[in-house]
Amino acid sequence: MPENFFLLLFDTIQRDSVISFPMLGNLTIDPPAYITVFGRNIYLYGIVIGLGFLIAILFCSANAKKFSLKSDNVYDVILFVMPIGILGARAYYVAFQWDYYSLHPNELLAFWNGGLAIYGGIIAGAITLLIVCKVKKIKPFAMLDLIIMGLLIGQIFGRWGNFFNREAFGAETGIFCRMGLTDPSGNTIFVHPTFLYESLWNLCIFIILCVLLKKNRRKYDGHFTLLYFLLYGIGRFWIEGLRTDSLYIGHTDIRVSQLLAAILVVFSGVMLIINRKKSFPQEITETAEKEV
């Protein structure tokens, strides 16, 4: 079957499809994309992402002391990082889909129709965080370590927003862990549930960081950030190769997210090796142990 025909079929099925999971006894779900309140459509994608943001902020605020920070510091940073991060995610997506948006400038800011890229959000958010921390005299890399854990919570929830939106699925497959998409005509294809892969991968990273934090194994400010880049990059490189909706560099076959993931894995791996003997002074370690 020609690739362009498959992509057309896949896009059609995603718009109005029933989802099934053969690995779960052929569990079948037909989740609504939105709910209507007082005549207005409220998309579940936004609700799920909003819930993730809320839990992330509460987590960061509650655990600020373990990073030698104050709860107020978290709110000072989030106030700027969240909106600019969303703009960064949108700008990143638009930049690599410029052939389309150059012809539809009225849709440049219409992110509510889809089109946010996590790496753009991370880059814009990280730069904003560093600037705010400098102005507010907050330890930037300690804040990064804390915010990274909140980011993981947001990503874990956010990928389920993709589920309700029927997007971010992978290529057709016949493996055990597959997801069926059935259109109104009864045509079914089975694909990689890449949204699920990434959500579970992020959950594993979050658990690892929580265990390290509990055991007081965060050795220096920036340690968790490097671990995130390494572990998330490994997972994203693999998962991105399974997707059919990747952003590409120009008209090449190079996937932007895979390239950036590979760069981050190499960079963070090298930095972790360089800093392997680095650790907090003993008095700071003992204080952290009491707070945990």
Quote the pLDDT of residue 110: 74
Burial class from Cβ neighbours inside 10 Å (0-12, 13-18, 19+) for residue 102 reads exposed
Identify the band that residue 246 occupies on the pLDDT scale cut at 50, 70 and 90. confident
Alpha-carbon dihedral sign for residues 106, 110, 114, 117: positive
pTM for the predicted model, two decimal places: 0.85
Which residues have CB under 8 Å from 157's CB, separation 6+? Answer: 48, 49, 51, 52, 55
Contact 177, 200 (CB under 8 A): no
| Mean per-residue pLDDT, 217-235 | 97
Beta-bridge partners for 181: 19, 189
**What confidence category does residue 118 fall into, taking pLDDT thresholds of 50, 70 and 90?**
confident
Residue boundaries of the structural domains of the chain? 3-291
Query: Per-residue pLDDT averaged across 151-175, rounded?
Result: 90
The confidence band for 291, taking pLDDT boundaries of 50, 70 and 90, is low
Q: Determine the pLDDT at residue 26.
A: 87
